[in-house]
Amino acid sequence: MPCRHCLAEPERNASSAPGRKGHGDRLDGQRLQRMVRTDRIALPLKMMDASRKSSAEKPRIALGADHAGFRAKENIKKYLQSAGYAVSDAGTWSEESVDYPDFAIKVARRVQQGQDDLGILVCGTGIGMAMAANKIGGVRAAVAHDALTARMSREHNDANVLAMGARVLNEHQIIEVAESFLSAQFAGGRHQRRIDKISELDQEPKPRG
């Protein structure tokens, strides 16, 4: 069966990781570019509308990863640049072991200070990245492992940072989840009142000690 995200046939003898990753083949940069050029990524209608926006209308994206998320971050960067997004890459730059909070904080600060509109973080699971990013005032980081939770994190929770796990999702799923996040809009209304209650917590004095 062709992959429903990129229409590519699965490779013979491709190794499969356990859990949701499943898809064994890696997306190299050239292949990603080719898929974008030839529209081979099958995007839902809403995402296609988002990809038609001009660069000026698209949110600026801050990207960050640790060693576990490095390859995925490189793929996301190539994909987003091909799709016309302005991307700032906060590292890391290799698969050498690093500490994920260092990159989560860089990306979260860029979003906090309005240098970028949204952030995307990748580590092994997304969990540590989200924990660290959520310590930065004004940042609402959500871990999403599928397109639905990524979209809902924007529509209901006004998430401004997406955290994903490169040991949980394969390359295709990571692109799909990122696109779902980027093409969704905050729904406002009753959700705004709830977000305001979260934002109020940024004003609480830090406990001593």
Q: Is 156 a catalytic residue?
A: yes
Question: Using only C-alpha atoms, what is the Rg of the chain?
Answer: 17
CA angle 183-84-24, nearest 5°? 70
Which residue stretches of 113-170 are H helix? 127-133, 147-155
* Pairing assessment for the beta strands 61-65 and 118-123 based on DSSP bridges: parallel
Q: Tell me: does residue 128 bind ligand RB5 (CB under 6 A).
A: yes
Q: Does residue number 103 form part of the binding site for ligand RB5 (CB under 6 A)?
A: no
Give least dist CB 71 to ligand RB5, A: 12
Q: Which is nearer to ligand RB5, 123 or 159 (CB)?
A: 123
User: Under a CB-based contact definition with an 8 Å cutoff, are residues 44 and 51 in contact?
Assistant: no
Of the candidates 5, 23, 123, 145, the residue annotated as catalytic is 123
- Name which position in 112, 125, 170, 173 contacts ligand RB5 (CB under 6 A): 125
Of 108-116, 122-130, 138-146, 187-195, which part binds ligand RB5 (CB under 6 A)?
A: 122-130
Using CA atoms, how far apart are residues 65 and 107, in angstroms rounded to an integer?
9
Structure tokens, 128: 């540590």
Our finding on whether 124 is near ligand RB5 (CB under 6 A) is: yes
> Which positions from 59 to 88 touch ligand RB5 by CB under 6 A, shown as an x/- string?
-------x-x--------------------
Supply the minimum distance, in Å, between the C-beta of residue 123 and ligand RB5.
Answer: 3
Interface residue with ligand RB5 among 70, 79, 100, 181 (CB under 6 A) is 100
Give 3-state DSSP helix, strand, coil % of the chain, rounded to 5.
40, 10, 45
6 labelled catalytic: no
Residues sharing a CB contact under 8 Å with residue 101, sequence separation 6 or more, in sequence order: 128, 132
Minimum CB–partner distance for residue 188 and ligand RB5 (Å):
31
Instruction: State how far the Cα of 117 lies from the Cα of 186, in Å rounded to an integer.
Output: 13
Window contacting ligand RB5 (CB under 6 A); options: 38-46, 50-58, 86-94, 117-125: 117-125
* Min dist. Cβ of residue 185 to ligand RB5 (A): 28
- Distance in angstroms (rounded) separating the CA atoms of residues 28 and 51: 21
Catalytic residues: 123, 156
Binding site for ligand RB5 (CB under 6 A): 66, 68, 100, 123-125, 127-128
